[in-house]
Structures are given as C-alpha cells and as structure tokens.
Amino acid sequence: MNTKTGISMSKRAHAGEVDINKGFLEFAAKWNDAKSYPATYDLEHELGETFAVIQKMAEEYTRYRTENSDAGLPPLIWRRAVSGGTIAVPEEVLKQLDPFRIDADSVRNAKTIVVTSAQFGAPLNMHFWSAINHYAEAREALIVVMPIKYGPIRIATDDETGEAHLTSTFPDELRGRILFEDLSLCGGGLTLNVTRLRPTLMRFLTNSICEMGGVASQVFAAPKLELEYRPRVGHAAPKAIMTTGACTHPNYVLDKLGQQDRTGEIATEEHNFAAVVVEFCYKKYFHFRQLHANGKGEFYDIAPDRGGAELFTPHGVEHFANAVSAIVCGDWHNGMTDRNVRLGTFGDRGMVQNLNPDHVILHDLFDGNSINFFDVSGMASRRAHKARLQWDSLEKELDACKKELDWMSSKTKAQIYVVAGNHPEFTTKYLERMTWVSDNRNLEIGARLFLEMVDDLKRRKLSKSKAKATDPVVAWLRTQCPNIHMLERQDALLLPKGVNHPILCSMHGDLGTSGVKTSSVASFRRMNQRITIGHSHSAAILGTVWRVGTSTSRRQFYVTSPATNWTNTHCVIYKNGQRQLINFIKGRWFGKV
C-alpha cells in the first residue's frame, strides 16, 4: 500500500505500525469524499492502488466496523463507477433498498425474463404492472426491474435516533424485483447493465453507451424504447443494444409554478410504458422483442403456440387469431433471400401463416442482380460467372419475382404490398442511361421496357412538374401480378386503418423527406409521423421510427468488412397500432413456447 496515504489495514495495524482506528478513519475520509475523488481513477491515484484492491480494503473496513461497533468509524458510501461520476449512497440507506433486491440466481436460471425499469421515487403504473404480471404467469416468465435515478437521492435524519433514511423509494409492489448490479446471462452473451442513464436524455444509445460491455449484448434501463446493433467480429450475430421502457409514471422536477422544464416535458411526452421479453433458447443465443403498452396498460405479444396474438390487460389474457394488421418483412432481395428466413416467413407454420396478418409489406423485392452496376463497374470475373449461369438476364430476374409473388399469394390471403426502393430503381438507371444498348443479353427486354416508359409518359399526359415515367419494375409487375399492390415513391400506405396515429409503411428508408439520400434513422423523425422503414439491413428503434432488417444471409459478396450489424428482422404491426420487431435466430422466429 502507498505509504503517502498514511492508511494501514488490519494486518499492518496488528504489527504495531500505526493505530488501526486512525488508518481506517483516513481511509474512510478519502473513500467518502466524492467531490474530491468523483471517479474510481481519482481514488486510485490518491491511494496508489487499483480499484479492485481498494474495494477489498473497503470490505475489510466494513467487516472491522461491524465487529467493532464502538470504534466510532463512519459508514462508507456506496461507490460504483458509472457514466458521469459516482452514485454515493450511505450504507444504512442502501440497506433500506435490500428488500427490493432480486435474487440473481433466479434470473440466471429463468428460461424467459421480462425486463422493464422503474424510476426511483416515481409512482407505479398499476395498469401496466398488472398486465405484466398476467404475462409472467401465462408465459412462465420472471419479471426483472432495473432502476432509474433522476436527481439527487433525498435523505433525512431521524431526530431521535440520528439514523439516516430515504424520503422516497420504490413502490412496494417492486419488492424482490429490482436488479441493482450488472448481471451477465446467456453464457456471457447478454448483460443487464445498470449503468445510470439520465432519463431525460434526448437519445440514450450513443456511441459511448453502445461500446460498453465489450461484445456482449446490453440491456439498459431507460423510460423510452431504443434499439441499435453493432458488428461483432468472429460472432454469428451482431451485438444488440437496447433500452427497456418503464413501468413507472414519469416524475421529473417541477418549478415553483408546478411546471416542468423543456427536457422534462419532452421526456414525459416520449415516455414509454414498455418492457423487453427475452427468451433463452440456445447457448449464447436468445430471442427478444418489445412489449409496448397503450395508455390502459394493454399490450399484445405473438402467440406462436396458438397462432395469432394474445392481448394482456390489467384484467387478464385474451387470445385473438386476427390481431395482426401487418407484417413488414426485412429487405427481401429475391434470389438472394436466406432459405430459412424465406420458409420461416411464408412456409408452412411460418410467421405469415401463424400470425394471420391482413397485410404483408415487402422492401426491395426485386434485387437487380442481373444488371447491378457494381458488377458492371468493377467485377469482370463475377460478370463472366453470371453470364455462364444466365444470372445476367433481366427478363429471367423479373420472371423470378413474378413467381415469388405468386408463391407468396398462394400462402396467404393477406394483401401484399411492394414498397418502392433503391434496388428496383437499378433498372430505371440502367434504362435511362441507355446501358442496355450495349448489353446483348438484355437488349430486347431493355428496348421493350424503355419504350414502355416513353409510352407511359404519353398516355398519362402529365404536366411539366409531374412528367416522370412509372418505375419499369413497378409497371411490369403490375401487368404480371394484378393482385399485388405495387407502390411508388409518393404513395402513402398508413396502417393499421382506423387508429388515431397510424404507421407510415411505404417509405423504404434510402431517401429522406426531401428525396436526399440518407441512412440515418434520426432523419426520418422529421416526418412527424410513426414510421417503419427498411434499407439498412439492421433493425433499429428510435422514437417513432422503427426499422426492419434484411431477409438475406448476413454475408454478401459486396460486403468488405469481416462483420456487419445486419439482422434478419421483421416488424409485426397490431390492429391497435402497437409494434414488435421479430428476429430470426438459427432459422427460428421465436424462442420458448
């Protein structure tokens, strides 16, 4: 131990080097001085030890203080390194929270957990809490609540006993439910991370937060739902980082007029009564999805064992075979689609057959591999390979899309919509740039499609401000598949019908609000609309904007990095407007049944 501190623990004290009480008092003074030493590295510098050693010193101090209650040693505050500083709680106060502590082993042994969060000192949403408990009972799940702290923890001292106590705490219903320390699950593949995130943040999953926890997926406590994925080199799936939503009402500081500041008002408006259900089904693999409640505390979840979905309310559980309004599939890329995802979506006992949606929405159905300009510009060897296998035939690729849509239609009575996107528009660029003129394989189909674009403009007699030919892939599939709804860029598909705040499902995600290229989820919040997009192949949630993943394999010839954040993810939209993101893991779209 660094002698400059003048601190000596019990072994040195027994040797008569320094009075033990004095050494302990000096140690306690430095440990408890969070203003002078707010972070662990400040304390390490002052004491000349690693924080692991300092923690052992603190344990020895606490043990000695317990055994020698007449020594007059002060309690140590609870120090835990977090983003932004140290949470400092007196030992006596921390003991008052012990009844709320969940048994960590019960969480480790659970097959299904429901993770939500609770703000310290905030009232519980009893409607949502009752519905979650019905869910836990029906699905044999364990409820885990992660703590949210806002502002200082207020402590009062009893005038008679002199003991410190909390002026407010968690609701009694949360006793035995709250996780106060990080917990590693699923063989280290998932961490419930109790790092404190200020609940009024505009965005929780920043780069610094997403980098926490190494390669393990992370669940953080926050009163809004957010989701992001990061690549993991050497792993089969990317790292998932998510927040939980909350089971408590928002409770932010009011001024003397009873009004919140701007950040408090925004946080209250964007507050989500929500949870994340996690199903452990493989070694280091897990399924998760969102349970997002309405104002009455009600929420849907898929019911793979019964088909359709179940509605969980404060009063119980009700099954509905036709509760799903739509399934938005991850970017399809026909011909490149992963076999397991394809069959898991439209095959027998697949997601579409099981959930029975009214609508199915496809992004990037047409891949454009036959006339892909990436191959034309720099992959001569791939072009030669494609020519040998006739993969470079635009007509064959269009016909394959027709056959795929016919197959999908035979598997469901749902209305199928194909969203306009950048991959179908490869053909528009191919035709408009006259590339087909020097492409012998596609000279005939290119000429036919180009003339159809010209005739389309003649037939519609558009004004100068609107004179633009219909996308040739859209026009061709409309004639070949008249029962399929082929959407164009300016079409607005709002689902579910009849709700106050429907979801815009007709934007692909490659072009922003003014037609400018973008890959940012945040840019679509400018739509001032709940929206579900695709394009980036990686599922995400940011406020009102949700994004699906891809239906292809996660490795493609044009990907140059050793790992991606791509996910095989669809979005389920319920008839009351609630949403869930459903992942395909090892060919399955759900875990425990």
Confidence at residue 372, expressed as pLDDT on a 0 to 100 scale = 79
State how far the alpha carbon of 464 is from the alpha carbons of 425, 428, 455, 467, 468, in Å.
Answer: 22, 20, 16, 5, 9
26 Cβ contact list (under 8 Å, min separation 6): 5, 6, 7
pLDDT at 153: 64
What pLDDT sits at residue 586?
Answer: 85
Rounded CA-CA distance 26/37 in Å is: 14
Of residues 245, 243, 214, 246, the one with CA closest to residue 230: 214
DSSP three-state, residue 529: coil
Distance CA 365, CA 517 (A): 20
pLDDT score for 506? 96
H or E stretch covering 184: strand 183-185
Q: What are the structure tokens assigned to 118, written together? A: 């609770």
Looking at the fold, whether 314 and 359 belong to one and the same domain comes out as no
Q: Examine the fold and report which residue of 288, 318, 348 is the final residue of a domain before the chain moves on.
A: 318
Could you give the CA distance from residue 471 to residue 486 in angstroms, rounded to a whole number? 10
Question: Do 401 and 514 have their domain in common?
Answer: yes
Tell me the two tokens of residue 143: 């409820």
* Domain finish residue from 318, 353, 379: 318
324 CB-near residues (< 8 Å, 6+ apart): 308, 309, 355, 356, 357, 358, 572, 573, 574, 575
- Sequence-distant (≥ 6) Cβ neighbours of residue 337 within 8 angstroms: 551, 552
- Measured between alpha carbons, how far is 131 from 311 in angstroms, rounded to an integer? 9
Q: Quick one: pLDDT at residue 262? A: 73
Spatial neighbors of 460 by CB under 8 A, at least 6 apart, are none
pLDDT at 7: 44
* 139 phi/psi in degrees, rounded to 5: -100, 5
303's CB contacts (< 8 A; 6+ apart) are 309, 310, 319
User: DSSP string of 342-355?
Assistant: HHHHHSTTSHHHHH
Examine residue 439 and state whether it is found in any structural domain, yes or no.
Answer: no
Count of structural domains, the chain = 3
With respect to residue 462, please indicate whether it lies within any of the assigned structural domains.
Answer: no
What separation in angstroms does the CA of 173 have from each of 164, 248, 273, 316?
23, 11, 16, 18
Amino acid at 48: G
In a domain, 590, yes or no: no
Instruction: Tell me the three-class secondary structure of 27-54, residue by residue.
Output: HHHHHHCCCCCCCHHHHHHHHCCCHHHH
Q: Are residues 188 and 279 in the same domain?
A: yes
Pair 466, 493: CB distance under 8 Å: no
Question: At 55, which amino acid appears?
Answer: Q
- The CATH number of the domain holding residue 408 is 3.60.21
pLDDT of residue 423: 93
Per-residue pLDDT of the chain (593 residues; tens, 9 = 90+): 343 444 444 444 444 434 778 888 888 888 888 777 877 777 888 888 888 888 888 888 888 888 887 788 888 876 654 433 334 556 666 777 888 999 999 999 999 999 999 998 889 999 999 999 999 999 999 999 999 877 666 667 666 766 666 767 888 999 999 998 899 999 889 999 998 888 888 899 999 999 999 999 999 999 999 999 999 988 878 999 999 999 999 887 655 444 556 777 888 889 999 999 999 986 678 999 999 999 899 999 999 999 999 999 999 999 999 999 999 999 999 999 999 999 999 999 899 999 999 999 999 999 999 887 666 666 778 878 878 888 889 999 999 999 999 999 999 999 999 999 999 999 999 999 999 999 899 999 999 999 999 999 999 988 888 888 999 999 999 999 999 999 999 999 999 999 999 999 999 999 988 888 887 899 899 889 999 999 999 999 999 999 999 999 988 888 888 889 999 999 999 999 999 999 999 889 998 64
pLDDT of the residue at 254: 57
Q: Residue 214 is encoded by which pair of tokens?
A: 């190494």
pLDDT of residue 152: 60
Evaluate the CA torsion angle 166, 267, 545, 566 in order and state its sign: negative
Type of residue found at 63: R
Q: How far apart are CA 277 and CA 274, in angstroms?
A: 10
Q: Is 469 within the bounds of a domain?
A: no
pLDDT at 326 (0 to 100): 98
Strand, helix or coil for residue 58: helix
pLDDT of residue 339: 96
Is residue 171 within 8 Å of residue 124, measured between CB atoms?
Answer: yes
Question: Residue 578: CB partners within 8 Å, gap ≥ 6?
Answer: 292, 294, 299, 300
Instruction: Note whether 498 and 350 are same-domain residues.
Output: yes
* Measured CA angle at 245 (ends 542, 130), to 5 deg: 145
Domain shared by 169 and 99, yes or no:
yes
Q: Of 19, 44, 79, which residue constitutes the final position of a domain?
A: 79
Residues 349 and 494 in one domain: yes
Are 395 and 493 part of one and the same domain?
yes
* Cβ atoms 166, 130 nearer than 8 A: no
Residues 298 and 332 occupy one common structural domain: no
pLDDT score, position 366:
96
What is the pairing mode between strands 217-220 and 239-243? Answer: parallel
pTM of the predicted structure, to 2 decimals: 0.84
Structural domain boundaries, residue 548? 324-425+484-583
